[in-house]
Structure 1
Amino acid sequence: MTTSGERNYGGASASARATKRRSSLLDVALTAMADNRWRSATVASLCAETRLNKRYFYESFDDLDQLASAAIESVAAEVGSAAIGSYLATIGSTLDEQAHGAVAAVVDVLGADRRKALVLLGGVPTAAGQEDKRRAAIAGLTVVLVEHARSIHDVELERDSLAATAPAFVIGGTAQAILSWVNGDLAVNREQLIDDVTALWLALGRSAADIARSRIDDVSG
């Protein structure tokens, strides 16, 4: 015998309905943050936008901070998954093709929904707790790029500070370029943006590797 919480309504299970309600709350939170309305948002106002009873908010989140953090994490996870998926799909291809695919994947996620770019990349102000979450998300993407750089440019790069500095620089510059693009301040089309960012990734990666090896040779010599 099933309990009332396990019954299907309209063909959807209780867990499926809860997941849908959670997604709706994440969506309105993303909109509120992107519109710079987050600091005035309340549980009641967000629930009104989603046409949900407040009890459904607390079904998924303890408070607004937890909802905001979850929204940022969901965007970061989508971007990371797209980048890694692209990389895995291009294993065996040239470095240029791998980099182009990864950049295209990131641009397509953030360019398809301007809110995601603004919230993840710092295009709108957030409370201190969310800023920490945003920095953590960007740091996670940087780690992925560091590991990729090491696999491409040999382990020698690990012995130089550029192994960490260069990817952080690339991520920061890429974030600003994408923000400028989604805001209309960078007058290039999608294809040109991807080509330009890819070229910069490759140029910096190769230069960083060359500088690192030169430094190592100087010390060894």
Structure 2
Amino acid sequence: MSTAERKYAGDSAHTRSLRRRTALVDVALTEMAENRWRTATVQALCQAAKLNKRYFYESFDSLDALADAVIETIAAEVTEVATGGYLPLLDRPVREQARGAIGAVIDLLGADPRKALVLLGGVPTTPMAHEKRTAVIAGLTAALIAHARTTHDVSLEQDSLAATAPAFVIGGTTQTILSWASGDLPVTRDRVVDDITALWMTLERGATDLARARLASRADETR
């Protein structure tokens, strides 16, 4: 058995390495959420994680790489719970699918407001981390656009609302969740889920009707 495969206290080398990486990500998440990231050092993070400094470079080659890992970890969790929230409801009305996904994300970010602050822009980050966060939000918008295309007439894609509405929905939703998770929005969990779902569905109907009206008007003009 190789050194990498040997176990220590019942855990493999891989398991121990993963545990150390997780500890560093968690410590970094706290520093980022409490707006201390710009002054963070490898030494201080390792001390907070109760790790020898050499273990930092086992998983990361820089502080920027660790910051990226924090955002990627949260984004992966959000994607997983959102997917798990609506996939079991594919045979149900779109409203129930939306509520399932929104509720799952609310529960994840509400249970750990640090994640909401870091992922949704509640605290400043490094330029690289900001780019990563922007890419994540863009990905969520693209996913919503793709989902909308499966529930509406393909011809609606010809209207600008096909892209504008999902971007508007994601932007408003992230700000609402951030305000709620931060305690600035004094409503219950069920109420915020219901309200966001209602706003999604209202915008969906309104945007769909408007897009169809625009397309019909353009068609009339070409006759």
TM-score normalised by length of structure 1: 0.97
Say how many residue pairs are matched.
Answer: 220
Residues 67-216 of structure 1 mapped to structure 2, 5 A cutoff: 67-216=66-215
In structure 2, C-alpha distance between the alignment counterparts of 1:163 and 1:114, rounded to whole Å = 31
Identity in percent: 60
Gaps of 5+ in 1: none
Q: Who is 2:62 aligned against? A: 63
In structure 2, C-alpha distance between the alignment counterparts of 1:97 and 1:40, rounded to whole Å = 44
Q: Who is 1:35 aligned against? A: 34
The structural deviation recorded for 1:160 is: 1.1
The structural deviation recorded for 1:153 is: 1.8
The structural deviation recorded for 1:157 is: 2.1
Gaps of 5+ in 2: none
In structure 2, C-alpha distance between the alignment counterparts of 1:34 and 1:219, rounded to whole Å = 49
Q: 3-state DSSP class of the match of 1:185?
A: coil
What is the letter of the counterpart of residue 77 of structure 1? A
Per-residue CA deviation, residues 15-47 of structure 1 (Å, 9 max, x unaligned), is 111111111111001000001010010000000
Per-residue CA deviation, residues 150-183 of structure 1 (Å, 9 max, x unaligned), is 1112212211111111011011101111111122
In structure 2, C-alpha distance between the alignment counterparts of 1:154 and 1:12, rounded to whole Å = 54
The structural deviation recorded for 1:192 is: 0.2
Q: 3-state DSSP class of the match of 2:10?
A: coil
Q: Who is 1:217 aligned against? A: 216
The structural deviation recorded for 1:97 is: 0.7
In structure 1, C-alpha distance between the alignment counterparts of 2:154 and 2:81, rounded to whole Å = 26
The structural deviation recorded for 1:95 is: 1.3
Q: Who is 1:22 aligned against? A: 21
What is the letter of the counterpart of residue 55 of structure 1? R
